[in-house]
Structure 1
């Protein structure tokens, strides 16, 4: 029997594309899946990239990826822990070229 990190990584490698889909395939709770994805990202086993959807008319302070102090959060290498709202994130396996 594998642990949650192995199960999440395996589901991801087999094509699961959302946290809900990973939870369904593995039988793990969504909170365990989210924690596992965060840990796998820190380990470098998966990569996360914020997807830009365009800038809001209210500027960085009104942007979901903006930081609490109103600074821009776009263009960062990974999801910011300081973001103010939901941000669309694409997860992928690291390239092994």
Structure 2
């Protein structure tokens, strides 16, 4: 099986979630390659992505990771859910 298909299989099989770093290690490719492969499968309609936890924090702006005014993108990594789509 090609690494591209292995990445899809790893994500599809991980019903409770999987770290993309772990997928990269199991498939034997770099994390950057896994990211590119996920983008490929999203474009092909086999996976979908969604940002998790976006919006204002419940305890106010003092805990917000945003460096600017409201509505700016958070600083640092954003948690993304990647889910299989029926084909």
**Could you state the TM-score of these two structures normalised by the residue count of structure 2?**
0.70
In the alignment of these two chains, the number of paired residues is: 75
**Could you state the TM-score of these two structures normalised by the residue count of structure 1?**
0.64
1:87 is the counterpart of 2:86 = no
In the alignment, is the contact (CA less than 8 A) between 2:49 and 2:82 conserved in 1?
yes
Greater helix share, structure number: 2
Counterpart for residue 51 of structure 2: 50
Distance 1:41 1:27 in 2: 21
* Secondary structure, aligned partner of 1:60: coil
Structure with bigger gyration radius: 2
Aligned-pair RMSD on alpha carbons? 2.1
Where in structure 2 are there 5+ consecutive unaligned residues?
62-68
Deviation >6 Å, runs of 4+: none
